[in-house]
Amino acid sequence: MATRPSAPAWLDVPVDANALAAGVWPDSAARDDDGRLVIAGVDAAELAARFGTPLYVTDEAQVRARAGRVLDAFGSAFAAVGASVAVYYAGKAFLSTEVARWVAEAGLNIDVCTGGELAVALAAGIDPARLGFHGNNKSIAEIERAVSVGVGTIVIDSRIEIDRVADAAARAGRVQAVRLRVNSGVHAHTHDFLATAHEDQKFGVPLDDAADLVATIRDRAELRFLGMHCHIGSQIFDAGGFAESASRLIAVHAELLTDGDVPELNLGGGFGIAYTAADEPTPIEQIAAGMAEAVGAACASHGIPVPRIAIEPGRYIVGPAGITLYEVGTVKPVEVDGGVRTYVSVDGGMSDNARPALYGADYTARIASRVTDAAPTLVRVAGKHCESGDIVVDADYLPGDVRPGDLLAVAATGAYCWSLASNYNHLGRPAVVAVRDGAARIIVRGETEADLLSRDAGIPLPTPAGTDALEGAR
Ligand code: LLP
């Protein structure tokens, strides 16, 4: 076995480098009799042969189940303190019309934050009343469209937006329900949270300004104030930050009640998932219970009823259900720190998963096309882009005989991979395939070379009408 040059402290040498860690891989992931990876009864090698690589694969039943699990977890936790819960799926994690329908059928609403996300949700046939519209810089056109199609709620993110939304509602002859995004001063990341008086960030308004802004909202007859909204971060592993934030919000919520209705409190998303076997997110039921307890206690201490609660998970719903399949192209031992690091290069990279480059995110890789007894060796899975930071998996152990032609699977790529995908180096963005009950179908087509060339204005469009049509198209 190779030595461990620069292996991170959290990464253990696995007993079996073919093993699929529970909680990291989709629940349905298994090896068949030939050692091939199977997801929801579908052979990964067959998927690669049929649809090509790189390929995003998502386990439909697991997305649906996770949506249902969040609804149940929060529904029962908050029922214990006398409140109901609305769950909004944060579409930024991964939105296509199919996914929008899956989560809606599971009883979730959907949060969108651009006109594009709104368009997908509408194209999916989601009742606009079940949509929440976010964003720190919605354009006037986006606001007008959201109001006119009857979006359920708009989250006001700045003083300027109060008039923008109210004016759009006035023009449309509607009363628009709104939330106000505030910063609770609590910022959480994975294991710990930081609590400050004011956050230095672009989203929302300081909690101290909420009373004044809510009074301004209430002065506009075209707006109906629902409550405050707060999102404290993403990939959070326990309830502590949410609980702290909720109790700060409830103190202000109680003040707001003295001047009118405040039926709701939106506590945002951010529930973490496992990307590697070292990640141990608290089960969602415990997080929900911790949040409900904090909200219940804060409301009791202010002598107010517990408002209806809304939450907005994204990653939690879709992240663990997704994997990405790649083909190994080259394997290259590189001497580092007196040892050897094996670079395994695949046919995708930072264009289909920007998270390692953007956030230093860790992932888990396994050979999908076979199992082998070869001793585990430390690898770095790299992409094919012209950039040294083009890393797919910074560190993991694979069987030492990993070789060109192997199919490689990377776990937990269901959230913020397709959403953040790019065409860097003119790679087409991969297709997304949904697997369920032994069957696979494309839910987002992959981009072809023709797609890549189609927007290049230097290439004449294939039209007999010639230049005039060309000009019109551009
Ligand atoms: N609600 C609001 C207002 C948000 O801004 C976000 C995420 C969510 C809900 C959903 O958060 P989730 O449950 O998915 O953690 N690209 C980054 C994550 C950015 C999150 C942005 N906002 C990543 O890949 O880690």
Asked if residue 161 belongs to a known ligand binding site, the reply is: no
Locate the ligand 1 atom nearest the alpha carbon of residue 270 and give its number: 15
Helices and strands in the chain: count of H runs, count of E runs: 13, 23
pLDDT range class, residue 339, cuts 50, 70, 90: confident
pLDDT of residue 464 exceeding 90, the answer is: no
Q: How far is the centre of ligand 1, averaged over its atoms, from the C-alpha of 315 (Å)?
A: 7
pLDDT range class, residue 200, cuts 50, 70, 90: confident
Tokens 């995708």 belong to residue: 348
Asked if residue 359 belongs to a known ligand binding site, the reply is: yes
Nearest to 447 by CA among 418, 468, 471: 418
**pLDDT, mean of residues 442-467:** 87
Q: Does domain 30-59+321-447 bear CATH number 3.20.20.150?
A: no
Locate the ligand 1 atom nearest the alpha carbon of residue 272 and give its number: 15
Q: Which tokens in the block code for residue 66?
A: 């996770």
**pLDDT, mean of residues 108-115:** 98
Q: Where are the chain's structural domains?
A: 30-59+321-447, 80-318
Nearest CA to ligand 1 atom 17: 416
- CA torsion through residues 224, 226, 232, 234, sign: negative
DSSP states of 132-186 = EE--TT--HHHHHHHHHHT-SEEEE-SHHHHHHHHHHHHHHT--EEEEEEEE-SE
pLDDT at 388: 95
Asked if residue 115 belongs to a known ligand binding site, the reply is: no
Locate the ligand 1 atom nearest the alpha carbon of residue 419 and give its number: 16
**pLDDT, mean of residues 109-113:** 98
Question: Which helix (H) or strand (E) is 120 found in, with range?
Answer: helix 115-123
Nearest CA to ligand 1 atom 22: 234
- Tell me the C-alpha distance between 439 and 289, whole Å: 37
- Letter for the amino acid at 307? P
> 130: which DSSP letter?
G
Q: Which CATH superfamily is domain 80-318 in?
A: Alanine racemase (3.20.20.10)
Nearest to 304 by CA among 244, 263, 243: 263
Strand order in the sheet with 37-39: 30-31, 37-39, 42-43
Q: Which tokens in the block code for residue 356?
A: 């390692």
Q: What percent of the chain has pLDDT over 70?
A: 96
* Ligand 1 shell residues, CB under 6 Å: 90, 92-93, 111, 134, 231, 234-235, 268-271, 312-316, 355, 359, 416
Who contacts 16 (Cβ-Cβ below 8 Å, separation ≥6)?
Answer: none
Q: How far is the centre of ligand 1, averaged over its atoms, from the C-alpha of 25 (Å)?
A: 21
Catalytic residues: 386
pLDDT of residue 204 exceeding 90, the answer is: yes
SS3 content of the chain, % helix, strand, coil (to 5): 30, 25, 40
pLDDT per position as a tens digit, 22-47: 999 999 999 999 999 999 999 999 99
- Tell me the C-alpha distance between 102 and 10, whole Å: 35
pLDDT at 42: 98
Contact 235, 189 (CB under 8 A): yes
Q: Which tokens in the block code for residue 453?
A: 């060339």
pLDDT per position as a tens digit, 304-333: 999 999 999 999 999 999 999 999 999 999
* Geometric angle at alpha carbon 197, from 261 and 111, rounded to 5°: 50
Nearest CA to ligand 1 atom 18: 234
Q: Do domains 30-59+321-447 and 80-318 have the same CATH topology?
A: no
pLDDT at 2: 45
Indicate the average pLDDT of the chain.
95
pLDDT per position as a tens digit, 45-84: 999 999 999 999 999 999 999 999 999 999 999 999 999 9
Contact 326, 47 (CB under 8 A): no
**Strand runs labelled E in 337-455:** 339-346, 365-367, 376-382, 391-399, 407-411, 432-436, 439-444
Asked if residue 312 belongs to a known ligand binding site, the reply is: yes
Q: How far is the centre of ligand 1, averaged over its atoms, from the C-alpha of 234 (Å)?
A: 5
- DSSP, collapsed to helix, strand or coil, labels residue 364 as coil
Contact 439, 396 (CB under 8 A): no
Contact 316, 268 (CB under 8 A): no
pLDDT of residue 105 exceeding 70, the answer is: yes
- Tell me the C-alpha distance between 108 and 120, whole Å: 16
Nearest CA to ligand 1 atom 24: 416
pLDDT of residue 171 exceeding 90, the answer is: yes
Virtual CA dihedral for 160, 161, 162, 166, nearest 10 degrees? 130
